[in-house]
Amino acid sequence: MHKAVLAPDLYCYCLKYGVREHPALQELRLESSKLSNSQMLISPDQGAFMAQLARLISAKSYLEVGVFTGYSTLWMALAMPSNAKITALDISDEHLSLANAYWQRAGVAEKITAIIAPAADSLLSLQQANEVYDFAFIDANKSEYIDYYEACLRLVRPGGLIVIDNVLMYGQVLEESPRKNYVNTLKKLNDLIYHDERVDICMLAIGDGMTLARKKDIYEA
CB neighbours of residue 98 within 10 Å: 17
pLDDT tens, position by position, 114-172: 999 999 999 999 999 999 999 999 999 999 999 999 999 999 999 999 999 999 999 99
Across residues 33-62, what is the average pLDDT? 96
Confidence of residue 221 (pLDDT cuts 50, 70, 90): low
C-alpha torsion 96→102→108→110, nearest 10: 40
The answer to whether residues 122 and 152 touch, using CB atoms and an 8 Å cutoff, is no
Give the residue from 50, 56, 60 showing the smallest Cα distance to 157. 60
Confidence band, pLDDT 50/70/90 cuts, at residue 182:
very high
87: CB partners within 8 A, 6+ apart: 61, 62, 63, 64, 113, 115, 126, 131, 133
pTM > 0.85: yes or no:
yes
Give the pLDDT confidence of 94-119 residue by residue, as tens digits.
999 999 999 999 999 999 999 999 99
